[in-house]
Amino acid sequence: MKNLIFLTGLALTAQMVMAAPEPTFQVTIQANPDGDAGASGKDLFEGAKILEADNVGSSDPRDLFGGFFNNTEPGHLLGPDENAVLGWSVKFATARPVTIGGFELFLADDSNGARGASGFKFYQENKLIASGPIINPYSDKYGNNQIKVTVKLDTPATAKDWKIELQAGLGYGVRALELDALSPAEAKNR
């Protein structure tokens, strides 16, 4: 009997270790016709420091976080047309660890699908916590060339370092207007 209990205990422990839950999330993609790019200036990613930027060309990734540095389209990150197929990624840090319930990504393509994204990946430090496909041309699927991708995390995530990665769609560098954090309370209301 003792042996049996011991074995049961072991089995339970093994199961608990193996069952470390994968992060789960919900994605909503909708038209964002007024072009609102969440410029409230109050979200937790506002003014984030850029740690690494891959394949963003001459764009300034701070434009994802409330900045207006891009000469061509102030306030937007425009991926370069060279190697556009690779998409781009930006690793960034908040001033201190923050807890988010999700995020909103504001995108716009050129109506014909150029500069559209075909998918996103979002990392808490180096851990992938949300990802999904995006269909472009955006107008065909979502009814407007400007869209808002809302991601709600089932469990809030806390970190200082984050990373966003956008896969390219039909061509030319992917355009992103802004990436806003949602506090856990905000995420509940989305």
CA dist., res. 84 & res. 68, Å (int): 22
- What residues have CB less than 8 Å from 121, skipping those under 6 apart? 89, 128, 130, 131, 163, 164, 165, 167
Residue with tokens 């937007």: 76
Site string for Ca ion, 108-147 (x = CB under 5 A): ----------------------------------------
Among 36, 46, 54, 60, binds Ca ion (CB under 5 A): 46
Stretch that binds Ca ion, among 6-14, 25-33, 158-166, 174-182 (CB under 5 A): 174-182
Task: Answer for the pair 26, 152: CB distance below 8 angstroms, yes or no.
Answer: yes
Of the pair 24, 40, the CB lying nearest Ca ion is at 40
Count residues binding Ca ion (CB under 5 A): 7
Closest distance between Ca ion and the C-beta of residue 43, in Å? 5
DSSP conformation letters of 123-167 = EETTEEEEEEE--SSHHHHHSSSEEEEEEEEEEEEEEEEEEEEEE
Task: For 55-145, list the strands marked E by DSSP.
Answer: 77-78, 88-108, 117-124, 127-133
- Considering only 29, 48, 62, 66, the residue that binds Ca ion (CB under 5 A) is 66
Question: Which of the ranges 1-9, 11-19, 45-53, 139-147 carries the binding residues for Ca ion, by CB under 5 A?
Answer: 45-53
Write phi, then psi, for 155 (nearest 5 degrees): -125, 125
The number of beta carbons lying within 10 Å of the beta carbon of residue 1 is 5
Q: Which of 23, 47, 57, 75 binds Ca ion (CB under 5 A)?
A: 75
Residue choice 32, 43, 164, 169 for contact with Ca ion (CB under 5 A): 43
> Which of 36, 110 has the CB closer to Ca ion?
36
Residue 180 engages Ca ion in binding (rule: CB under 5 A): yes
Q: Integer distance in angstroms from the first to the last C-alpha of the chain? A: 53
The yes or no reply on residue 104 touching Ca ion (CB under 5 A) is no
Binding site residues, Ca ion, CB under 5 A: 43, 46, 63, 66, 75, 178, 180
